[in-house]
Each structure stands twice: as structure tokens, then as C-alpha cells.
Amino acid sequence: MSVVSSPRETTRHSRHVTACVTAPDPADRAREHVDALLRLADSHGPGVVVPTTDEALEAVSAQHDRLAARHLVACPTEPVARTFLDKRITSEVAERAGVEAPRTVSPGSYDELELLIERLRLPCLVKPAESYRYNRAFGVKMKRVHTPDELRTAWGEAHELGIGTMVQELIPGPETGGVNYNVYVAGGEPRVEMTSCKLRLSPRDFGYPSAVVSRYVGEVIEPGRAIVAAMGIEGFANVEFKQDERDGRYKLMEVNGRPNMSGRLAVRCGVDFPLMTYRHLVHGEMPAATPWPEGVHWVNEFKDTRIVLDRWRDGRLPWLGGLKPYLSTGVFGTFDARDPRPFLARVRDGVATPETKTPAVAH
């Protein structure tokens, strides 16, 4: 079963969805969203609740005990969820755990910001404490600022909307320095692990991934384990790092306690995190590590094709570099020949439609 909050969400069209229910948007009506999930236990029986967006995870984690009385819930309780949903807390946890991360400050007023400007090294990043609220307001994950005035503007516009932000040190390096550490934790132990590298982002450098490749990056394993353990996460987690070109070390960028955008890459590699989540919660099956291939690509076909064409025109991308993800073993973000209807729905609604994910209840 798929639970959606917008008619434009395309997962409802999948042949694997036996029923689809529209629930209130968890970003604006969190309590009502949870109430709708609880009613499903009466109409369809208990299920596995898998939040797949930050706003759904925030709503579900806040009412975890109520939902857990009727369903199996595949996300942590609110105190744990807050450690990765609020990036200010993430920074504090990383420091205590000894995980290298960009230097971060969180001014709470214009006066505090002015005092910080005198000590900050520019350029730097203005990042949200809660990513989904910022993205809904401004359409980007964060903003890079080069001058004190740009910093004042970027921080101030978020502050006026009541969106908490941080000012963070810029980690220099190309977009290809981004690495994902994916893990399934059970009983406090990392049972299954996989790493992948980002190839292209949209927008470039600070956007969402449009092309990713499976690749073993051993340097992020220990810090990935450390931050997940420090947060007390059980189940699936996705930890993002970026390689600092100044010293070659990987610095923590953020932690996600829900399925990530390029999650189909792991499935294509034989590491099916959603299935192991279901089997673990429903049948008590302990996930077991399995070998996975390197060099498998994931591509967001709606965004990456435009990026490749633009970079070819500008001479910023060699032909082979642009085509390799399409010519080698891989998987697309939406298109699947065995289940084409979600892709066709996105084409029908317009290729500019943003990638969407839904809070799901699996039976």
C-alpha cells in the first residue's frame, strides 16, 4: 500500500501498489497524517510504516508510540530522529563522537550573526537545520555566500520565515568527492554496509545527486559506523560525506534515517535495504552482509540528461564521462521496463516534476 499526500506523486501508479490512500501532508498537518495511518490499521490491518521523506519521518517519529501500538514502524523515536533531522544537533553529536565535520555555528539573532561575521572565513554555506522546510521555501538544499552582505541576506530571509539555519565552513572539492555510506543496523551492530560515490549533482556542487556509482570507499566506514552508533540509530541509515581536497579526508555532511534518493542503486547491486527492513521487522530475519559489485550506476533520468547536455555545450564534461552511466550496468531513478507506469506518469505530468517519495505502509 502507498500513502501519498499529493496527486502528483507517482508511486501510486506502480504495479506493486495494491491500494493507495491519500493522507494529509505531514509537513503541514502532522497529527492528521498520523491519524490517517492509524485508521488504516482498522480498514486494512496492521502494516509496516516506512517514512520516506523527512517531513513524514518527523511526523511519524513524534507519534511513534501511538503508531507502534497498531503498526510496525520503520523509523526511530523522536529523540533519536531529532539528532539527524536537526543538523545543529548532528554537528554536536559528530563532535562528541570524534567524527570530522565542517566547522558549524548557529546564530540565533542578527546581533549574533554580526559578531560571527567578524570571525568567519568566506565563502561559506548557509544551511538549514531542517532541510525539507528550507527546500520548500527556497527550492535549494543550501546557499553558498561569498560576502558579508550575501550572508546577511541568506541568513535573514530564512530567519524571517522562522527557519533555523547554520553557517558552515565550506569543504572545498569537486562534486565527485561526495560519498554515501549506507548501513542497516540491528541490535546496535552494522549488519549490512555499502558505499557509493556521487558523479553529478543538480545544482552543481551543492544539489541533489543526478548520477551515482557503486564504489568501495573504505575511509568512510569507521566514521559512518561511529556517527550512527552515537545517534543510536537502528535499521537503515544513509550517511553523506565529502572529501576535503585540502587534506584528502572525508568530512561528515549529513545523516538520513530514511531511504535516500538513489536507493534503487543498492537494490540493483543486490543489497535490498527495503526488503531486509520488511523481513527484519515482520519475520525477525537478521540481515546478512552480501558481496556487491562496484561500477553500477544510478541515474535520475529526468535531471541528469539535461545536466549532461548543458555541460557538453559548455565544454565542462568529456563525452565518455557523460555517457558512461548510460552505457554500463545501472538503474534509473524512475524508469523500469517491468514497471513503467510511474515513469509514464511523470512524463505525462511534465518532466520538470520533482522527484517525490511517499510515506508508505506495506502489508
Cβ atoms of 225 and 188 within 8 Å: the answer is no
Q: What pLDDT is stored for residue 361 in this prediction? A: 61
Average pLDDT in the chain: 92
Q: In this prediction, what percent of the chain has a pLDDT beyond 90? A: 74
Beta-bridged to residue 178, according to DSSP, are 242
Band the pLDDT of 118: cuts 50, 70, 90.
confident
Distance CA 270, CA 294 (A): 11
Give SS3 for 99: coil
Cβ atoms of 280 and 115 within 8 Å: the answer is no
User: What number of other Cβ atoms are within 10 A of residue 275's Cβ?
Assistant: 12
Q: What pLDDT is stored for residue 54 in this prediction? A: 93
Distance CA 47, CA 40 (A): 9
When pLDDT is averaged across residues 205-220 and rounded to a whole number, the result is 94
- The reply to whether 103-169 and 175-257+263-332 are identical in fold is no
Q: What pLDDT is stored for residue 352 in this prediction? A: 47
Domain boundaries, the chain: 2-75, 103-169, 175-257+263-332
Q: What pLDDT is stored for residue 66 in this prediction? A: 97
Q: Which amino acid is at 236?
A: F
Distance CA 165, CA 88 (A): 8
Distance CA 120, CA 182 (A): 33
Residues 52/100/171/207 CA torsion (nearest 10 deg): 0
Q: Which CATH number fits domain 175-257+263-332: 3.30.450.40, 3.30.470.20, 3.40.50.10490, 3.90.550.10?
A: 3.30.470.20
Band the pLDDT of 362: cuts 50, 70, 90.
low
Lowest pLDDT segment from 52-56, 300-304, 351-355: 351-355
Its sign, for the CA torsion 286, 289, 290, 294, is: positive
Q: Looking at the domain that runs over 103-169, which CATH code has it been given? A: 3.30.1490.20
More confident residue, 116 or 205: 116
* Structure confidence by residue, pLDDT tens digits, 126-180: 988 878 788 888 988 889 999 999 999 999 999 999 998 889 999 999 999 999 9
